[in-house]
Chains A and B, each alone.
Chain A
Amino acid sequence: MTNEFAVEMRDVVKQFITPEGGILAAVNHVTMQIKDGEFFSLLGPSGCGKTTSLRMIAGFELPTEGSILIHGKEMSQVPAFQRPVNTVFQQYALFPHMTVEQNIGFGLEMKGVSRSERSRRVSEALEMVRLPGMEMRRPKQLSGGQQQRIALARALINKPEVLLLDEPLGALDLKLRKEMQLELKTLQREVGITFIYVTHDQEEALTMSDRIAVMSKGVALQIGKPEEVYERPANKFVADFIGETNFIDGVVKEQDGSAVEVELAGTGTVCVESSRTFTNGQPVSVAVRPEKLRLNSEVQDGNNLTGRVEDVIYIGTDTHYGVRFAGGQKVRIREQNVNQGYHQLSNQGDEVTVSFTRNSPRILTD
């Protein structure tokens, strides 16, 4: 039976006993479906349960409750060595006492593939990760980036149904990491294998993923495409964790269909589009990205609020302005520096207008 989903987690719970004797639910009723051939990221801060989820798919941890299916087959109690998945570990976990060739050929050796066949496929795998001729090196003799590629080759040579990657770029410096991100993405398209990628770096997840699951405290808060997660965050945590967000607290004054009027104490009223229904008087947060705010360029049929510039930070591509409204709410505004030689729209202490359209913010309650 072919299954549309490479991996399914159904209501999975993983509990650990803490050193103090309490019970910690590292993963708390997580359900997600990862499509075949997808680049899927588990994103969240440390301790959110993303690595535990990955380890349960790999078979290093068994779930306390729930089931894990790989291509439709129940796997939750199957030991790691019998699962059709391979892992690229955070610290690579290359075998230091073996050569690169023995490392990459390890999976094939376990399957009983002949020595000559193994050696042929190892050199192919080395070509694939662009490190040909490295067979006889030891892991210690390789740079971090090279070790990372060897770890990748060691996993991919087994043609796994799913490749699991546990923050594989975490140990690399920024420039190399950016290169490897693109390379991984290209490689994933070429081999067509489902990748499940664990990261705490939201930018990395946005860059590489087809879909992202944002996790916090053992719960998958939102699962969606990068643009969905960024543009339509399900709650304040997601909005805050992915990119930068201004939260302007207020109270719902009135709702007319999709148009919601929110009273911002001491500052004024804004009108925001939302598909959700609110009750009058409900406390909410108007969440709006800094790049969606305009400084001193009023938007017709939108929201225009007055405030005072508190700080100006020039960061090359953009200039950031911190503006405080009359009611004390503070927002950050990001203006791209498109004009040559003229970057600053206003100075500290200036009175300015902050404008945004009705559909750029989200109204979030939790």
Chain B
Amino acid sequence: MLKFFRRKRSLQLFSLISPGGLWILLFFNLPLLIVLFISFVERGRAGSIKLPPVYTLENYRQLFNACSSQFSGPNCDPFLYISIFGHSARIALVVTFWCIALGYPLSYFISRQKQVWRDALMILVIIPFWTNFLVRTYALKEVLATEGLLNSFLMGVHLINQPLDLLFNEFAVNVGLIYGYLPFAILPMYASIEKFDYSLMEAASDLGAPPWRAFLRVMLPMTLPGVIAALVLVFVPVVGAFITPDIMGGGKIEMIGTLINRQFGVSRNWPFGSAMSLILMLMVLIGVTFYFRSSSEETRRAM
């Protein structure tokens, strides 16, 4: 029996792939198809969908024209949802930028330490992963709150007289997201930078390149796969984030994630939520495909 099994290579492969494959099929592909289906039908009265299903493109139309719904009032902004998409993309870009801008020098710094220190510092970077994300976000909220750690400190040393409004705005959302996703940026960039051969910087310097030009012309292009990996790993989850904007924005900052979350919650509009999810997924997919196409083999390996 075992012998037969070993001889049939295809059978062997099948047996290796099938558990994971089945899992993905059942819990990813199938639900995705359900979401696709829901996005093309009318909503039911008490949430869920109307049965028997009535097919419609209204959910997608609503995305591009927020006033197409019969419930929209006279002050309705037809581009509301588009602007939320734009807003989310902007926050995601800002967060991605800062994660890379802060993470790159840090990765560089860590990679230049002795082996023992490198490992210790990387563990410090990874430790937050072991703490519940919600707990971390609430802790950060306590730091930024009106009577929180930062304001108390600044008032205590008489740098300010009035507490600063640090919470429940876009700034807070950005800080929360940068804090949460920085390790995702550091890990791939560190992997790239750690492999970088610094004798190439000496060669550049030897050939007359001042440090900044050597960096731009040699080190940055060679560590770019790590940067692109960081970009994808941060941008994709951040653009759809909903817990952090909810907690740090205090319900005042709307992002795609919070919007979708609401469709399945209080708004009870599953079909519209599904349509937005799919559009978001499509956008991310196009973006990532574009990056993979334009980037090299190394990028894919860095991922």
> Which A residues contact B (CB, under 8 angstroms)?
58-60, 79-82, 85-87, 89, 91, 93-97, 106-107, 110-111, 154-155, 158
Contact = CB atoms under 8 A, between A and B. Distances in A.
Contacts of A95: 200, 203-204, 218, 222
Given A97-B221, A97-B222, A81 B208 contact: yes
A111 B209 CA distance: 9
B205 to A, nearest CB: 4
A151 to B, nearest CB: 9
A81 B218 contact: no
Contacts of A79: 205, 210
A98 B244 CA distance: 42
B208 A158 contact: yes
B197 A110 contact: no
B221 A80 contact: no
A87 B206 contact: yes
Nearest to A111: B208
A33 to B, nearest CB: 23
22 contacts: A58-B206, A60-B202, A60-B205, A79-B205, A80-B206, A81-B205, A81-B206, A81-B207, A81-B208, A81-B209, A81-B214, A86-B207, A87-B206, A89-B202, A93-B199, A93-B200, A94-B203, A95-B204, A96-B222, A97-B218, A97-B222, A106-B209
A82 B210 CA distance: 8
Per DSSP, chain B at the interface is helix
Name A's interface SS. mixed
Interface string B191-229: 000000101101111111111011001100110000000
Contacts of B210: 79, 81
A297 to B, nearest CB: 54
Contacts of A87: 202-203, 206
A93 B208 contact: no
* Closest A-B pairs by Cβ, 7 of them: A93-B203, A110-B208, A107-B207, A80-B205, A93-B199, A81-B205, A87-B206
B199 A110 contact: no
A91 B199 contact: yes
A111 B213 CA distance: 12
Given A93-B199, A93-B200, A95-B200, A86 B222 contact: no
Contacts of A154: 207
A296 B128 CA distance: 83
Nearest to B221: A97
A78 to B, nearest CB: 12
A97 to B, nearest CB: 5
Interface of B: 197, 199-200, 202-211, 213-214, 217-218, 221-222
A93 B202 contact: yes
A111 B210 CA distance: 11
Contact of A110 (B207, B211, B221, B222): B207
Nearest to B298: A97
Contacts of B217: 106
B118 to A, nearest CB: 15
A89 B207 contact: no
A157 to B, nearest CB: 9
A79 to B, nearest CB: 7
A59 B218 CA distance: 19
A106 B207 contact: yes
Contacts of B221: 97
A96 B298 CA distance: 12
Contacts of B199: 89, 91, 93
Given A93-B197, A95-B200, A95-B218, A110 B213 contact: yes
A80 B202 contact: yes
A154 B206 CA distance: 11
A94 B222 CA distance: 12
Given A60-B206, A81-B210, A89-B199, 12 more contacts: A80-B202, A80-B206, A81-B204, A81-B206, A81-B209, A81-B211, A81-B214, A89-B203, A95-B200, A97-B222, A158-B207, A158-B208
Nearest to A79: B205
Nearest to B296: A97
Interface centre among A59, A79, A81 (most CB of B within 10 A): A81
A213 to B, nearest CB: 22
A324 B86 CA distance: 92
Q: Which of B208, B210, B221 is packed against the most chain A CB atoms within 10 Å?
A: B208
Contacts of B205: 59-60, 79-81
A86 B200 contact: no
Given A91-B199, A93-B197, A110-B213, A86 B206 contact: yes
B297 to A, nearest CB: 12
Nearest to A60: B202
A100 to B, nearest CB: 14
Contacts of A86: 206-207
A62 B213 CA distance: 21
Contacts of B207: 81, 86, 106-107, 110, 154-155, 158
Nearest to B218: A95
A58 B200 CA distance: 14
Contacts of B214: 81
B51 to A, nearest CB: 58
Contacts of B203: 87, 89, 93-95
Contacts of B209: 81, 106, 110
Contacts of A60: 202, 205-206
Nearest to A84: B208
